[in-house]
Amino acid sequence: MSHSTAFLARHARTIRSVAAGLTVVAAGLTLTACGDNDGTGAKSSGQAQSSATAQADQGGADAGARGEGGSDNGTGGDNGTGGAKGGAQGSGTGGAQDTEEKAGKNGGVAEQNSGGSGSEAAQEIGACDVNKAAVSVASVKQPVNHLLLKFTNRAGVDCNVPYYPVLRFGDGQSATPAIEDSKPQAVVTLAPGESAYAGITTSSADGSGSGGTEESELEVFLKGYDYSTTVNLPSGGVYVDSSSKVTYWQTSASDALTW
């Protein structure tokens, strides 16, 4: 190859290298420009996001204010509509707070009503009426010198038999004393048709009592009440002396005859 030909070949390679270098540089500049545009786009997106956030916050505040102002159905907070359109936090706070306040008020009213109903129900159970009851006296084999007094509720409603029966044999002026050891833990309450019992000691088993008389009738009062009913004593008459006493009302005949 001649000297001229070799020179031209090297010159051509140099030109191609320069052209390739310029292409690389141009490509780099293009990439840089695209990066700047993307950065600008990202900045624009950030600005849009900030703007949307500000609008959402403003919307949430407005929705929250509407909730606090008395939204009856709590749409701003409970359904989340306000959150989707303009800020879940502001919307939810207003509606939820309003709902909680209403629930608290309603709960207080319900509790007061419930307490009042319970008290009224308890007050409805009054004392039994001897004139709306079946009262009877029966003799028993054991213990000796005892009678069993039975009181059955015929009033059609629940009632209480307070303390012990107040008894008067025949024309006696003083009431038969109660046996305090027989006092139950609670007042006996009778549903319609249920019965209460009291055991009556008529006289001492060893004859230590005094002032004994034969009596054929027994007047029965409820403790604290003036009205009474009179029942006939079994066997045409019963011997009664100063040892006579009566138990508190009991729920069973066996308990009444324990003393």
CATH of the domain at 194: 2.60.40
pTM for the full model? 0.55
| Cβ atoms 159, 128 nearer than 8 A | yes
- The verdict on 70 and 186 lying in the same domain is no
Last residue of a domain, one of 124, 150, 184: 124
- The verdict on 62 and 135 lying in the same domain is no
CB atoms within 10 A of CB 52: 10
Nearest residue to 54 via CA among 90, 81, 97: 90
The pLDDT tens digits for 25-81 are: 454 544 444 444 444 443 444 443 444 443 434 444 443 434 444 444 434 334 434
**What is the three-class DSSP state of 257?**
coil
Higher pLDDT, 237 or 10: 237
Angle at 67 between CA 60 and CA 75, to 5 degrees: 90
Q: Is the pLDDT of residue 149 over 80?
A: yes
By residue range, what is the domain housing residue 59?
Answer: 1-124
- The verdict on 136 and 247 lying in the same domain is yes
- The verdict on 134 and 113 lying in the same domain is no
CB atoms within 10 A of CB 46: 10
Higher pLDDT, 130 or 90: 130
- The verdict on 65 and 173 lying in the same domain is no
Domain count for the chain: 2
- The verdict on 154 and 111 lying in the same domain is no
Structure-token pair, residue 142:
């054991």
- The verdict on 117 and 199 lying in the same domain is no
Last residue of a domain, one of 124, 153, 176: 124
- The verdict on 151 and 117 lying in the same domain is no
CB atoms within 10 A of CB 149: 24
- The verdict on 2 and 116 lying in the same domain is yes
- The verdict on 132 and 247 lying in the same domain is yes
Q: What is the mean pLDDT of residues 233-252?
A: 96
Last residue of a domain, one of 109, 124, 139: 124
The pLDDT tens digits for 94-147 are: 444 554 454 444 444 444 444 444 445 445 799 999 999 999 999 999 999 999
Structure-token pair, residue 89:
């936090």
